[in-house]
Structure 1
Amino acid sequence: MITIDEFPGRAITIDGKDFLYFGGTSYLGLQTDTDFQKLFIKNIKKYGTSYSASRKSNIRISIFDKAESYLSNTVGSESCITMSSGYLAGQLVCDYFSKADYKLYYAPNTHSALLRGKQEVYQNWKQLETDILKHQGEKQVIFLDSIDFNGSNYPGYKPLQKLALENIILVIDDSHGIGITGENGGGSFSYLQSLQPKELIVTCSLGKGFGIQAGAIFGRQSIIENLKETQFFGGSSPATPAALATLIDAHSIFLCKRDLLNRNTALFLKNLANPLFFSASERHPTFSFKNEQLATLLEENGILVTNFRYPTEVDDLMSRIVLSSSHEKEDILKLCKILNTLSIYNTQ
């Protein structure tokens, strides 16, 4: 474990040694972007640093409705609600469907944000498909992540195309897709809707692709209104208004940063000698690997990547290279050069 005293950008200095950082989830590099920070500070002066009241309060701030309308238009959904985090957004939806008359299925690699208690997460799609068929006629809900870091779901969602989705409610965590994938950063909602499930609900964190501390839920207006009427929603502190206002104000920044991220990803792939070494989703800036020695070798060469057990210390090691908009061309070329010279990378 490495402890630092400030937000990690493209580079980190540890004990006097400089490292390039290819980890985390700040895909657009917004947290350290000067123009983005100026917008955030301006909105803090208007809306304050936080908002601790319930969304059900008799005094309400209009920015919530404005931001939710902006997000709905971006994603292509009828409606949207925001929460203080993506995890809380996922838990609200999970709690809503955790009733005796719903049969819940958790696809391989489903994030813990969509889990309540000790539900079984399927190890493979084949068994999940078999169990779905066994329980046809029941009210079925499938939970899964859009980006599972193995390339199984996004962008084509091939496992879902084998199912009779007209009878199935889909709950998708798009935390690693929203803001950076889909048209205008709208993520996977529109594509998933084209598969015509019985019901589609998408949850996400807005901290990864949009750089603000908040979460969101997308779906039909009727289901969103039902979620708003729950104790879970009414009793929760909302997202910070200043963050939601910045989400709207930074639209042009998102466009530029997303274009830069796409170019950085293309540059990385173009200069890799062995791209098949990694598990990756098409057009996504993350590249997972299972060889534990690679992270150590990269660190010895001045490169730090994501490399820790998640979500608990007893879970599998999560190792991946993460590109961001903050990386410069020379950073990416240096990373590729180091990778291409490592025998452990070129022999697998």
Structure 2
Amino acid sequence: MFTIDEFPDRSINIEGEEYLYFGGTSYLGLQTDPEFQLLFINNIKKYGTAYGASRKSNIKIAVFDEIDAYLSKVVGSEACITMSSGYLAGQLVCDFLKSDEYQSFYAPNTHSALYSGQQDLYPNWVELTKAIHNSPKKTPVLFLDSIDFHGDNYPYYSFLKKLPLQDIILVVDDSHGIGITGENGGGSFKFLQSLQPKELLVSCSLGKGFAVQAGAIFSTQRIIDLLKETQFFGGASPATPASLATIKDAHQLFETKRAQLYKNTALFLSKLNSTSSFVHVEGHPTFNFQNETLATHLEENRIIVTNFRYPTKNDSLMSRIVLSASHSNKDILTICNILNSFFKKE
């Protein structure tokens, strides 16, 4: 574990030495982008640094409804509500679906944001599919991550297509997809909707693809209206208005950064001799691996990647090379040369 004094950009300083950084979740590299920061600062001046009141308050700031509508349009859903974090958004959905009429199923590698109490976790999709087909006469609710970093879901969702989705409520965490995948960064909602599940709810963090501290839920207008009436929603402080306003103000910058990220990913793939040692999801800038020697080798060559146990110290080691829009061509060529040399010696 390394402790640093500023946000980790394309490079980080560790004990006075510069390392290239290919980790984290700042896919578009916006957190340190001067243009994005200026938009954010201007919105702080207008809306303040935080907003601690309920959205049910008798004083209502217009930007909340405006951004809910804007995000709905981007994603392709009927409606949306924003929350202060992706984790809270996921927990609101879980709480909403707590009922004896539903039976919950969790796909492998589902994020803990969608957990509620004790879960029946299945080791693979084959076992999960059998369990759903053999479930009692309750409405199945299937929880999963769009980007599971094992290649089972996005972009093709092949396992989902084998299920009777017309009878299943589908709950998907799209935190690692929204903002960078799908048409105009809309994530997976439109594709999942095309599979025609009984109901579709997509929750997510907006801190990865959109670079602001907030979360969101997308679904039908009926479901979003019901969520707005819950104590969970009414009792929680919302995302800061300044953060939400910046999402809309920065729409052109998001487009530019996504295009750069796609170019960086294409360059990485073209210069890497082989991807066989990685789990790579098509259309996503991450490359998972299970090789502690490789992580050590990269560190010895002044490159830090994501490499820790998650979400607890008892879970499996998560090692991942993450490309960002902020990486230069030189950065990418450097890591490709080191990787090609490492695998050549194996």
Alpha-carbon separation, structure 1, partners of 2:136 and 2:174: 27
Paired residue for 1:204? 204
Alignment of 1:5-24 (within 5 A): 5-24=5-24
In the alignment, the residues of structure 2 paired with residue 212 and residue 205 of structure 1 have an alpha-carbon distance, to the nearest angstrom, of: 9
Q: For residues 293-339 of structure 1, give each alpha carbon's deviation from its aligned partner in whole angstroms, at most 9, with x where no partner exists.
A: 11111000010000000001111111000000000000000000000
Match of 1:114 in 2: 114
Distance in 1 separating the partners of 2:335 and 2:278: 14
CA distance in 2, matches of 1:113, 1:121: 14
The runs of at least 4 aligned residues of structure 1 exceeding 6 Å deviation read none
Which residue of structure 2 aligns with residue 265 of structure 1?
A: 265
Aligned positions of 1:90-239 closer than 5 A:
90-135=90-135, 137-239=137-239
Deviation of the 1:98 alpha carbon: 1.8
Match of 2:299 in 1: 299
Task: Give the drift of 1:57.
Answer: 0.4
- C-alpha separation between the residues in 2 aligned to 1:305 and 1:178? 22
* 2:71 alignment counterpart: 71
- Give the TM-score of the pair, scaled to structure 1: 0.98
Counterpart residue type for residue 280 of structure 2: A
Name structure 1 gaps, 5 residues minimum. none
- 8 Å contact 1:109–1:121 — kept in the other structure? no
For 2:197 and 2:345, locate their aligned partners in 1 and report how far apart those are by CA, in whole Å: 42
1:2 aligns with 2:2: yes
SS in 1 for 2:293: helix
* Paired residue type of 1:265: T
> 1:273, 1:346 within 8 Å by CA — same for their partners in 2?
no
Matched residue of 1:18: which SS?
strand
Cα distance in 1 for residues equivalent to 2:55 and 2:293 = 48
* Percent of residue pairs identical: 66
Q: Which amino acid aligns with 1:186?
A: G
Q: Give unmatched runs, 5+ long, in structure 2.
A: none
Note if 1:317 corresponds to 2:326.
Answer: no
Shift, 1:120, TM fit:
2.0
SS of equivalent residue, structure 1 residue 39:
helix
Displacement after TM superposition at 1:136 (Å): 5.7
Paired position in structure 1 for 2:85: 85
Shift of 1:198: 0.5
Q: Distance in 2 between matches of 1:310 and 1:153?
A: 20
Separation (CA, whole Å) in 2 of partners of 1:111 and 1:292: 23
In the TM superposition, residue 99 of structure 1 has moved relative to its aligned partner by 1.6
In 1, distance between residues paired with 2:14 and 2:273? 30
Contact 1:274–1:346, Cα closer than 8 Å, also in 2: no
Residue 62 of structure 1 is matched in structure 2 by 62
CA offsets 1:223-280 (integer angstroms, 9 cap, x no match): 0011111111000010000000100100000000000000000000001111121001
Counterparts of 2:135 and 2:314, CA distance in 1? 33
Q: For residues 69 and 168 of structure 1, what CA distance do their matches in structure 2 show?
A: 26
Q: Give the secondary structure class of the aligned counterpart of 2:31.
A: helix
Deviation digits for residues 71-124 of structure 1 (CA, Å, limit 9, x no counterpart): 000000000000000000000001111222210000000000000122122110
Q: Which amino acid in the other structure matches residue 43 of structure 2? A: N
Task: Calculate the aligned-residue CA RMSD, in Å.
Answer: 0.9
User: SS in structure 1 opposite 2:282?
Assistant: coil
**Amino acid paired to 1:287:** F
Corresponding residue pairs, total: 346
Partner of 1:53: 53
Cα shift at 1:146: 0.1
Q: Which SS does the other structure have where 1:3 is aligned?
A: coil
Letter aligned with residue 131 of structure 1: A
One-letter identity of the residue aligned with 1:248: K
- 1:112-141 per-residue CA deviation (whole Å, 9 max, x = no partner) reads 000012212211011111111112642110
The amino acid that maps onto 2:27 is Y
* Residue-by-residue CA offset, 1:20-74 (whole Å, 9 max, x unaligned): 0000000000100000000000000000000000010000100001101110000
Q: Which whole-Å deviations, capped at 9, do the CAs of 1:129-168 have from their partners, x for residues lacking one?
A: 1111112642110000000001110000000000010000
Alignment of 1:28-43 (within 5 A): 28-43=28-43
2:210 alignment partner, SS class: coil
The 2-side partners of 1:329 and 1:121 are apart by 41
2:258, 2:166 → 1: CA distance?
34
1:346 deviation in Å? Answer: 6.2
